[in-house]
Amino acid sequence: MILAVVNNDDSNALMRALTKEGIQATKLASTGGFLMSGNTTFMIGVDEKRVDFVMDVIRRHSSKRKQLVPSSTSMSGVYSSFPVEVTVGGAIVFVLDVERFEKI
């Protein structure tokens, strides 16, 4: 079982690529903790011998990029807002062994 958390901006392209390769996946909407931005979590069940192939598909369709996000600071009780550049995108991937699987 592969759990891949990707940026919403990459999710449609990744789903199309997985479908094109005949890889079935379930998409779940999720929210990141740091930027509170929208993510998509993919649940992908594949045989162990296909894990590396699926990882390559995820890498090709989950790009990292720089983005400006609002930030605020307080100086002497006066709040100021200014943009901060952060890296977003890419993927966080978990590969799990599944002890039992049934399709009912």
User: pLDDT above 70 covers what percent of the chain?
Assistant: 81
Q: Is residue 66 very low, low, confident or very high in pLDDT (cuts 50, 70, 90)?
A: confident
Q: What is the pLDDT of residue 2?
A: 97
Length of the chain: 104
Q: What pTM, to 2 d.p., does this model score?
A: 0.76
Given a cut of 60, whether residue 74 has pLDDT beyond it is no
**Cα(34)–Cα(5) distance, rounded to whole angstroms?**
14
Topology of domain 2-95 in CATH is: Alpha-Beta Plaits (3.30.70)
**Cα(91)–Cα(83) distance, rounded to whole angstroms?**
24
Contacts of 83 (CB under 8 A, 6+ apart): 68, 69, 70, 71
- Record the tokens describing residue 97, joined without a space: 């062994």
Q: Give the pLDDT confidence of 20-47 residue by residue, as tens digits.
A: 999 999 999 887 665 556 789 999 999 9
Given a cut of 80, whether residue 56 has pLDDT beyond it is yes
**Cα(35)–Cα(47) distance, rounded to whole angstroms?**
34
- Residue 44 CB-half CA count within 13 A: 30
Q: Give the pLDDT confidence of 85-96 residue by residue, as tens digits.
A: 776 668 899 999
